Amino acid sequence: MIRLDKYLCDLNIGSRSEIKEYIRKKLITVDGVIASDPGMRISEDSAVTYRGEPLIYKKFRYYMLNKPKGVVSATQDNIDTTVIDLLKDINTRDMFPVGRLDKDTEGLLIITNDGEMSHRLLSPKSHVEKCYLVHLKHNITSDDIKTLCMGVDIGDDTITLPAKVEAIATDRIYLTITEGRYHQVKRMLEAVDNKVVFLKRVSFGPLELDPSLSPGEYRELDESEIIMLNLYKGI
């Protein structure tokens, strides 16, 4: 069971005070009866309407964000803009980014309130594939690509797991990794005497960044994308 006002807040119908006013104006019905108490307990399957329009409750919410540079992957920060700050006009309570991208990295970031999914996707045992578009300071050689594919020493206790590399220009690659070590992509390229000058995540597991999203834009995941993420088992 869930409070009616929380149910409506979760659907981004309004704030608690706004919902109280909607109820006073008799704009909300529950199972065909005009609601009178914001605190009434209802089922997630209750037939709720707002201004005559039926509502469908979603316990979990999932968004795809094209993270821009200069924004931190956190729920709150006293100095920098966070990825949560970018989500305007939606209820972001209890929402958080799945993993993180460095402040100067762009690209695909999932924002959700589904802790179980996040935990599964971020577990080191899952080996979720993450693909990055990488612009390099220097041209990359075939030997460099072979080295990256086999795994490199980035100063940790173990070398990185094998990666996938697709060269799309002499100084640009798609790099796919299955780990999430600190500054991993940058350190991997440093290990072959190169330097990352631009970094953008273009896919996370089965989910690809929507090309229609400009940096800072976001959209809700559709049902097929949510199913893909729930079924994804890593590699």
Active site residues: 102
Return all residues near 203 (Cβ < 8 A) that are at least 6 apart. 108, 129, 130, 131, 209
The β-bridge partners of 53 are 50
How many CA atoms does the CB half-sphere of 34 hold within 13 Å?
8
How many CA atoms does the CB half-sphere of 133 hold within 13 Å?
11
- Asked if residues 67 and 107 have their Cβ atoms less than 8 Å apart, the reply is yes
CA gap 175, 12 in Å, rounded: 38
Stated length of the chain: 235
- Asked if residues 202 and 106 have their Cβ atoms less than 8 Å apart, the reply is no
Q: Under DSSP, is residue 216 helix (H, G, I), strand (E, B) or coil?
A: coil
Provide DSSP, 100-158.
---TT-EEEEEEES-HHHHHHHH-TTT---EEEEEEESSPPPHHHHHHHHH----SSSS
